Structure 1
């Protein structure tokens, strides 16, 4: 479930592997520090807390996250992609989910 809590100082939504991300909208990705696609441009950042690790990525370099993956301490994981539609609407679509131990 998406909650109103945020990762300290980053302004990113607090999500878990069971979140729907319905109604979340665009997520601004300030100060990425990782180059996950190895194109020479930093495009991602990773956040962690006691329960999970999240990786947010902006592969088209427009300042908005295009992809997020969450892996929880118990092995549950999920991934979403952000889609912008020609009519101006947008949505996060879950692209993968499961458990690393199953």
Structure 2
């Protein structure tokens, strides 16, 4: 035998005995009964009706807003850097606007200094 070679692996564990398997055994699989299927179908139809109602209500509101001439601004712009968009006049209560303005301009100034 070559001293550099690895000896063949031998197992000291005995193999597990085979599991008993009865080919004649039956397995009960519970299937939904027709009553359960009818109840599920009724539930799904109710959810569908609710979603259709909500969709119509949303469409009605959007149409009313469009007819009134109100422009809805996208809130998530730009998606790559949303902190830049900040509408102090419309989003911040009047009594906090000055504080917010100072804080925001200080932030932008410090951001400009650090990014230079």
Query: Which TM-score applies when normalising by structure 2?
Result: 0.17
Greater helix proportion: 2
TM-score (norm 1): 0.19
Structure with the bigger percentage of strand:
1
Rg: which structure is higher?
A: 2
Higher RCO (C-alpha under 8 Å, 6+ residues apart): 1
